Amino acid sequence: MQDKGHEPTRNLFRAVICRLCDMENPEIHFFKLLEMQLPRHETNSMVYNSFIDGDGHGKKPELAREVFEMMQRNGIKPNVCSHALTLKAYLRNERISDALNFFKAMHDSKMDVKLYSMVVGLCGVKRTDLALNFFSEKNAE
């Protein structure tokens, strides 16, 4: 498909990655696919973000975090979408403490957008108490 000039959408990446996550030894298949995609999009965060998104939906937030870190190691600066997708991967899979740790480790100028993503995600997993704490801390600053 890609050899003929067609670019896969995030939804297609998501569907493929979700199926890979259901397979035996998903990490092997996942990283093989990522390895095939990176040369096509090396300087672009889109492919990384698509894989982070797919991992979250495929119930593999630890793979999402690995892709996020790989992105940084490869010299691609994660954008707001990268941060939000990684947070959502943890929250979607009810890994609240991992999401909180990731959130606290990411301090930069995009904090307001990430705060919003974190609060929405916490509310989505019925942890409004933690969401309110984040708003209180932000207002106290």
Distances (CA, A) of 37 to 31, 58, 116, 129: 10, 18, 31, 40
- Chain center to CA of 30: 14
Residues 4-31 pLDDT 10s:
777 778 888 889 999 998 999 989 998 9
Question: Do 87 and 102 meet the contact criterion of CB atoms below 8 Å apart?
Answer: yes
Between 16-25, 78-87, 110-119, the lowest mean confidence (pLDDT) is in: 110-119
Q: What's this model's pTM, rounded to 2 decimal places? A: 0.76
Question: Do 29 and 23 meet the contact criterion of CB atoms below 8 Å apart?
Answer: yes
What's residue 114's pLDDT? 65
What's residue 122's pLDDT? 76
Q: Which helix (H) or strand (E) holds 35?
A: helix 26-41
- Within 13 Å and on the Cβ side, how many CA atoms surround 31? 8
- Please count the other Cβ atoms lying within 10 Å of the Cβ belonging to residue 11: 12
